[in-house]
Amino acid sequence: MCKPFKTIALVGKYDGAEMGGSLPLLADFLRQQGYVVLIAHNTANLLDIGDHATAGLIEIGERADLVVVLGGDGTMLSIARALAGYPVPLLGVNQGRLGFLTDVPVEGMFDALGLILQGEFIEEDRLMLDTSILRQNKVIFSAYALNDVVVSKGSTGRLIEFGVRIDGEFVYGQRSDGLILATPTGSTAYALSAGGPILHPSLAAFVLVPISAHTLAARPIVVNSQAVVELELIHADDARVHFDGQRHCDIRIGDLVRITRSPSPVRLLHPLHYSYYRTLREKLYWGKKL
């Protein structure tokens, strides 16, 4: 049987010394199976790995047939953004807490990966957000996000005021702590905590969720993922835009935050037994006594 992958890259949590046991073992396992193994520069430096080839993320995006991400959901979000635009699929081995995106347990990674390398896997595309921040009609910052883009108050802690347009049509003005625009992937993150709905990953949609709005009439709204969402900052002492909670950009009155669907989705691989609803049951403790 033809193997679906030849070159496999390993990327680990940048500050995760606990990978010192699992990642080198996984690299040796793959090399013994005849695969070309690349380890991300930062990961190799962190773990002092010198007996495997290393590569930067751009080279990994260009050369790898599969990227195995060891860490938690935060690590997967970071790597997904870094490899945006490259068609290489990602597989997550969970060494974090939640594991919504990194669904292969580290204890069973050899068995799970062995089956996946034989072609026994489920593949799905997860849509990403592509954001541009415009100041006086010029783009001053741009970034991708897999979970969410959050426009929020800054360190002063005061409400911000903004207007929202969708496909060029004014929808509402709002005074609040901010607004979350989440993908289906991100609907179980900050957006869920703020009262938003859970969107199945197969839906081509975004959800806009107000954060502590100054009126009880403010409610989440789900829009088609082809929509162009624009947020104009009307008043704020201090405001910023966050991307997956990992990057941010400060914004000023008059700035425009334009959010669209990225043309390149994130390709995720899962074991054959993967079930999104089972993941929800386990991670959200549905039906369990706390």
Question: Which residues does the annotation mark as catalytic?
Answer: 73
Of 212, 236, 223, nearest in space to 169 by CA: 223
Q: Are 288 and 280 in contact (CB under 8 A)?
A: no
How far is Cα of residue 129 from the mean position of the Cα atoms in its chain? 9
State the Cα–Cα distance between residues 179 and 196, nearest whole angstrom. Answer: 11
Residue 171: is it exposed, middle or buried by C-beta count within 10 angstroms (0-12/13-18/19+)? middle
Helix residue ranges per DSSP H, the chain: 19-32, 41-47, 57-63, 73-82, 109-117, 190-193, 276-284
State the Cα–Cα distance between residues 124 and 45, nearest whole angstrom. Answer: 32
Instruction: Centre a 10 Å sphere on the Cβ of residue 4 and count the other Cβ atoms it contains.
Output: 15
State the Cα–Cα distance between residues 29 and 216, nearest whole angstrom. Answer: 56
Instruction: Centre a 10 Å sphere on the Cβ of residue 290 and count the other Cβ atoms it contains.
Output: 3
E strands, 228-271, are 229-235, 239-243, 247-251, 256-261, 266-270
Core vs surface per residue 152-169: b (16+ CB within 10 A) or e: bbbeeeebbbbebbbeee
